[in-house]
Structure 1
C-alpha cells in the first residue's frame, strides 16, 4: 500500500500501537509526532495522503491542525481519534472538512476501514460516535438542508453515494451542465467553500437527512 500517513498522539503507547499496527498492514508511515506543532510541520513538509491525529495534544489540537490545513489548502486528509463525545468537537470536525472521526477505544478495529474510505474520498465517522449522538439527540438535521429544492436534494443524495456529475446526469436524464449548476447553487446555499471535495464530504455527513 502506497498511502503515506503521518500519525500524531501525545500518548506514547497509543502512538506506538497505531504505528506498529498500520506498518504491519503495509501502510507507509512517513512520520510521527507527540505534539501538534510537530505534527503540523510534518504535514506541511511531507504532504502525506492522510494524517491521523489525536484531538487533544499540546501546542496544537487535532482540530486546530485540521483548521490550518483547510485554511492553507493542504491536500492531506485528516482523520481524528478521540475519547471525547462532545457535540462541539463533532461540529468543528465537520466544519473543518475532517474526513474521519473515530473513538480511541475502537481505533484498531476501525482504522483500516476508515483509511480505505478516506483514500476513496468517502468520509468515515465512527458508528459508535454516530450512535451516541443520535441516542442523545445531539445530532440534528442542518437547517441549511431545508433551503434546498427537491431537485437539489435529489442531487445531494446522489453525491452522498459518491456519484459523479456524469453519473447523476445520466440517472436523472439531465445535462452535466445542469448538474454542475445545481452543485454550485447547493454549495452557495449551505455555505461551503469551492473545493471539489467539500460538497461530497458535506453530503456524506448528512446522508441520513436526505
Structure 2
C-alpha cells in the first residue's frame, strides 16, 4: 500500500508541481499546506507516513516542524526539500533524524527514490548535496555508543591514559577498561592492541559533542 503523504511549500508553483507529480505517480497525497503552521496542523491531524516539507516557510520552518514532531513522538517521517546547500542545515537535519533532504532543482527526479528509501526505513540525501558538501559518512556503529562512551573515546583520541580518564570521570580505572571492552564490541573492532586508539584517532572529527 502506498504511504500517506502531506506536502508543504510556500511557493504555489512548487507546491502544485510536486502535488501533480505525486498524484500522477499514484502516491497517496492526503493534503498540502502553504505554510509551516498549516503543515504542522495537518501532520497532527492525519499523522501521515511521510511529510515532504520546504525548509523555509512562514510561521515554522521544515526543521522546526521536525523538532516539534520529534518532541510529540509522532511517527511521521520528515523529508525536506530546499535550495539550501548548507552544511549547518544539513547537520541540523541529520541530528533531528530527518529521513530525506532533497534539493529543489532535482526534486521531481529524486522524490521517487527518496520515498522508496524512506519506506524501507533508510535516509535519503541528494547526491548533489553530498558531493557539494563533500560529506564524510558517519563511521559505522558510532550511533550505538552512549554519550558516556563517546566521551571516553574522545579522551582516548586525545591520548589520555586509562587512569586519566578514570580521574576525569570519577570512576575506577577498572570501570574504564570495562567501558573500553564494551566500546570495542559495539564498534565491532578487532581485539588487537591499540585498535580502539587507532579508530579514535581516525574518527576524532565525529567525536565532538
TM-score, normalised to structure 2, is 0.68
* Structure 2 residue ranges without an equivalent (≥5): 143-149, 154-181, 190-205
Q: Decide whether aligned partners of structure 1 residues 3 and 84 sit closer, same or farther in structure 2, where only a CA change above 3 A counts.
A: same
User: Could you tell me which residue of structure 2 aligns to residue 151 of structure 1?
Assistant: 185
User: Could you tell me which residue of structure 2 aligns to residue 131 of structure 1?
Assistant: 131
Runs (4 or more) in structure 1 with deviation over 6 Å come to: none
* Structure 1 residue ranges without an equivalent (≥5): 156-205
User: Could you tell me which residue of structure 1 aligns to residue 118 of structure 2?
Assistant: 118
Which structure is larger by alpha-carbon Rg, 1 or 2?
2
Deviation of the 1:150 alpha carbon: 3.6
User: Could you tell me which residue of structure 1 aligns to residue 49 of structure 2?
Assistant: 49
Deviation of the 1:151 alpha carbon: 2.8
Matches within 5 A, 1:23-34: 23-34=23-34
Please give the alpha-carbon distance, in whole angstroms, between the structure 1 residues aligned to 2:70 and 2:80. 14
User: Could you tell me which residue of structure 2 aligns to residue 4 of structure 1?
Assistant: 4
Deviation of the 1:2 alpha carbon: 2.4
Residue 72 in structure 1 maps to residue 106 in structure 2 = no
Deviation of the 1:65 alpha carbon: 0.2
Please give the alpha-carbon distance, in whole angstroms, between the structure 2 residues aligned to 1:104 and 1:151. 41
Deviation of the 1:35 alpha carbon: 0.2
Please give the alpha-carbon distance, in whole angstroms, between the structure 1 residues aligned to 2:18 and 2:188. 39
Between 1 and 2, higher relative CO (CA 8 Å, sep ≥ 6) is seen in 1
